[in-house]
Amino acid sequence: MKLRKIAIVAFALIIVIASCTPDDDITTADLRDRTEVYAEDLEEIETFLETHFYNYEDFDFTNPYSVANDDFEIVFTALSEDPTKTAIIDRPELKFKMVEDPLEEGLFYKMYYIEVRQGLGQDVHFIDRVYVTYEGSSTGGVIFDSVSNLQDFELTQVLSGGVVTGFREALLEFKTATSFTPNGDGTDLYHNHGIGAAFIPSGIGYFAQVLEDVSNYTPLIFKFNLFDRALLDHDGDGIPSFLEDLDEDLDVYDDDTNEDDAPNFFDSDDDGDGINTADEIELKSYPEEGMADFTTKEEAQAYFDANAVDGEVMIEIDYSNANANYTLYTFIAPDSNGNGIPDYLDATYPE
């Protein structure tokens, strides 16, 4: 699709999907073979994992979602300073996932991440906006970016910069906070949020770019706390963009129902029938008037499972810190002619 090609070309030429601030000094160099660089990066990352520990003794794993753990921050230390500690590579919190290179199909990277705790709040989707604190550094300990106050950014580049692939893929493994308590100074203490760190090969990081004080082809470490996320609706049709990934391949650019070179997530009339998508669906929220509040997320989910009508799709179950209950949001997509295709995706209706 044209929009996808534009995005990929923009990525390849200027690579603006970055977790660093716009003021960072970034330059590029001649490109090396990506497979060769990956082998070097993986060795460097695994050496770090074998020779460092983190402050796991400061976290109460017997009660991971206790308030006492809510302000936990990961700190890395060389094992040479205390050989009695357990290396990161031997900790049960260390996991990994395979991530495909965004520019070279078929090349997959092993990306390690520490899951101190996953979080109990909302799932994070590949095209959401997230609210985090984080620190980005090299394996040599050079910090190139750090945000201690709540920072928001989009996970996927559309019209603005997002984050490097590796950082995004790490955040997708975690969940948000369930609630927060005001500290009285304009800040909030979040509860039950995701806490982790990711070790990112440069091929899903900055690769040939040179950051300030960090050379090109350098694997990176991101430590982070994931507090919240917002569902994005890029075309304003009432359907969050993550639900417009109809084939669920984590690529919103290849879903173009009316083949007009505007993907559904960026098309206010998905089927091209002259009726806006927003007018072919019905947005709903529960509890409705006269219903009791949902006091747990499970209660809201059970209500949806038992009462959803044909064509009703869950958007999210959202916690309201103000009144300490949950709201269920859905949309109903009618299939008026009964052909198995929702009206908003069916150009044959109405006819």
Predicted pLDDT at 102: 86
**Quick check: 81 and 46 in contact, CB under 8 A?**
no
C-alpha span between 286 and 329 (Å, rounded)? 7
The pLDDT profile of the chain, 351 residues, written as one tens digit per residue, is 333 433 433 433 333 334 444 444 445 446 899 999 999 999 999 999 999 999 999 999 999 999 999 999 999 999 999 999 999 999 999 999 999 998 899 999 999 999 999 999 999 999 999 999 999 999 999 999 999 999 898 998 765 567 899 999 999 999 999 989 988 888 889 999 999 999 999 999 999 988 888 999 999 999 999 999 999 999 999 999 999 999 999 889 999 999 999 999 999 999 999 999 999 999 999 999 999 999 999 999 999 999 999 999 999 999 887 778 999 999 999 999 999 999 999 998 876
Half-sphere exposure of 203 (CA within 13 A, CB side): 25
Q: What number of helices (H) and strands (E) belong to the chain?
A: 4, 15
pTM here is 0.87
Predicted pLDDT at 324: 83
Statement: 2-230 belongs to CATH 1.10.1660.10 = no
**DSSP classification of residue 113:** E
C-alpha span between 48 and 87 (Å, rounded)? 9
Amino acid occupying residue 100: E
φ and ψ at residue 210, rounded to 5 degrees: -110, 115
Q: Where are the beta strands (DSSP E) in 233-349?
A: 282-286, 312-320, 325-332
**Quick check: 1 and 256 in contact, CB under 8 A?**
yes
| C-alpha pair distances (Å), 328 with each of 24, 281, 313 | 41, 17, 11
Predicted pLDDT at 173: 98
Predicted pLDDT at 320: 81
- Using DSSP's 3-state secondary structure scheme, residue 191 falls into strand
Q: At which residue do the structure tokens 């073979």 appear?
A: 33
